[in-house]
Structure 1
Amino acid sequence: MFDPSASVTRRPAPVTDPRTWTVEHIHAWLRWAERKFELAPLDVRPFPSTGRQLCELSRAQLAALVGTRTAKCLRFHLHSLKKRVGADSGSEDESPPASPASSPLSAEGRLASI
């Protein structure tokens, strides 16, 4: 599972709720997602500076930053993290990307090793 503090040099206290992430946590999560899901390198500069702002991005806004496929992957993982801490009601479609060949999903349709 992603630990946002594991990749941050200053090592803030572990934060499990993505709504409380700092800019460092967000950047660490994006770098982790690049490696974990074999995503193309992401430009972190246009991303919000707080976890709350990140969680409030619409599907279209995130897709404008990273493209549709990557946005689906990131939103699905972010939704999973929020759900684990009881912070997400699943108001938007958070289904995993459809094509197993082009996504980081297992055969069961779930993200592998979240």
Structure 2
Amino acid sequence: MQAGEFTPTAHSKVTYNEAFRANQYAGVGTMPIYQLSESFQLRGEFYGFIPIFPIKKDEYGQAYYGKAFTKFEYLGEISLVFQLSFGSISAYVNHYSSPSNDWNVGLTLGWQLFNSRFVE
């Protein structure tokens, strides 16, 4: 729970995924945005995550560090965004590499505002 988290998308900020947590990690991503019209955008977000020492669990549930750079995770999201004068409406589909076959679809209305956390 206290390990750092890699949460580059709005959806990943509001979900808990232990595969994207580590005390030391590297992350990379890209976000191409295509302007379809004055009000519509098609956005893609694609990210890779590699923990330097992945956190694993033994048969007794105790945490330990695995071998360096042996685990790679990815996530991707595609969204269609409609811009309004006061906010936006977004329909999205995303996929996380872990847990397997983790697909999500959703609709976002307005803006998502995130407050600072007690533990960062």
TM-score range, shorter chain: under 0.3
What TM-score does the superposition give when structure 1 sets the normalisation length? Answer: 0.22
User: More strand by proportion, 1 or 2?
Assistant: 2
Greater relative contact order (Cα 8 A, min sep 6): structure 1 or 2? 1
User: More helix by proportion, 1 or 2?
Assistant: 1
What TM-score does the superposition give when structure 2 sets the normalisation length? Answer: 0.21
